[in-house]
A and B are shown apart, each in its own frame.
Chain A
């Protein structure tokens, strides 16, 4: 599974036109730090881009769309994500994700131990998923976590998702 994570990061960096990073030889964190340096952008921004890039990968996109029928459903079940990942594999450590909803309707996503990498990754992923579901919302990332203000759930047409990857008939 680590190979898959490395490969995903390698592919992402290629898409970002970073070719100088010795993919596969470095641990993912170091790979991303080196790449951020070359691109001249902060690491957390690059990681956020990685989160959004993941959503654009068809197979990952499908898996994510299984996790919620609309963006709010997806968001409010985000705490299932670590368990879902454990369904697939045991050797990726995903920190626990906590959700809270204020009286003002704002949804807060906080990550155990406040891991800045996971916070950045998730906010990129949420931004891209909101787009995918056609939802208008404001996503702000801070040290405390990610704050999501959903203003229009069905602002635009959601990308069509069918449970079956096969188009054919039985």
Chain B
């Protein structure tokens, strides 16, 4: 049995559609049908097809090919599609000639898209189609998973918002207020703010005389008043039946706070149903002097200031003297 095998070009084309046969000087002799799709029209030399893969090369492709170790991978870029890196190897089957065979490696998808390759451009042994199949399957699955994740994230955000919202008024609930105050008192986001505790006056009468539906409507109206007079970065919460708390960002003067409180009271008096004479009492403290763990203390101080307003005849605003002045604190609000 002879150890030699002669292949005609038709057989070569079928076995290795990406082959390229060169003369020693780099002149193109012939190539396989798929390689033919990559060769620019009028190409005479291997340099017309390829450039060296690494920019620092000598610029002489043929000398790189001639010097290539037959056992090693040869990497070359297409001259007119530099992003495409072909890999292959070279043998010198006969004196005066070089036979190279190439594959697309990781540039496969680009090549298939760029040259419009089809199944018949690949030898049956190649895994090109399987690779394309896997890539598309992966992308489809990833797309679906990303959709799932988005869905879960939105559901979580919804749940979180719900957990922090008072369903009747759409304001924050007590839990939402705690979160807002934690943020406001966080030493990282240290911006001054004022905390206002508001309690409706004569609210019980509305419920007793006009019924709970009217009471609920009034609470929603009050929420609207509070939303109207505050800015979007302020926080408004309903923490009990007719008790509201406002977190008002910024450095406030006592006059400005009294002015704001008075506007709130007038607004609420305007939405009072019938002749119930609903109004509001406010107690306000400034954040100066309070630290990270002082949420309860601050709420308590605002409550004490609110009690002052109630005791002084309702429908009014008390701004606690500077928070450092603690003469109010020891007295618990008798409510």
Contact = CB atoms under 8 A, between A and B. Distances in A.
Interface string A79-94: 0000010011100000
Given A3-B148, A163-B119, A169-B113, A59 B136 contact: yes
B113 A164 contact: yes
Contacts, number: 59
Contact of B114 (A7, A69, A169): A169
Given A7-B144, A69-B119, A63 B114 contact: no
Interface string A1-45: 101100100000000000000000000000000000000000000
Q: Is the interface of B mostly helix, strand, loop or mixed?
A: helix
A170 interface: yes
A90 to B, nearest CB: 13
B140 A59 contact: yes
B134 A165 contact: no
A88 B137 contact: yes
B96 interface: no
B43 to A, nearest CB: 17
Nearest to A66: B133
Interface in B95-138: 109-120, 129-130, 132-134, 136-138
Contact of A170 (B83, B136, B137): B83
B125 to A, nearest CB: 16
Contacts of A87: 130, 133-134, 137
A75 to B, nearest CB: 16
Contact of B112 (A59, A89, A164): A164
A101 to B, nearest CB: 20
Contacts of B118: 162-163
Interface string B144-166: 10001000000000000000000
A4 B110 CA distance: 29
Contacts of B111: 170
How would you classify the secondary structure of chain A's contact residues: helix, strand, loop or mixed? loop
Contacts of A7: 144
Interface in B233-280: none
B136 A66 contact: yes
A4 B132 CA distance: 21
B226 interface: no
B84 interface: yes
Contacts of B114: 169-170
B113 A88 contact: no
B136 A166 contact: no
Given A163-B132, A170-B113, A88 B84 contact: no
Contacts of B83: 170
A102 interface: no
B14 to A, nearest CB: 16
A72 to B, nearest CB: 14
Nearest to B110: A170
Contacts of B130: 87
Contacts of A63: 133, 136-137, 140
Given A87-B134, A163-B112, A66 B129 contact: yes
Contacts of B117: 163-164
Contact of B141 (A4, A84, A163, A165): A4
Contacts of B84: 170
A62 interface: yes
Closest 9 CB pairs of A and B: A170-B114, A164-B113, A59-B140, A66-B133, A166-B113, A164-B112, A88-B137, A163-B112, A170-B110
Interface of A: 1, 3-4, 7, 59-60, 62-63, 66-67, 69, 84, 87-89, 162-166, 168-170
25 contacts: A1-B141, A3-B148, A4-B144, A7-B144, A59-B140, A63-B133, A63-B137, A63-B140, A66-B133, A67-B133, A69-B120, A84-B133, A87-B134, A88-B137, A88-B138, A89-B141, A162-B118, A164-B112, A164-B116, A164-B117, A170-B81, A170-B84, A170-B111, A170-B113, A170-B114
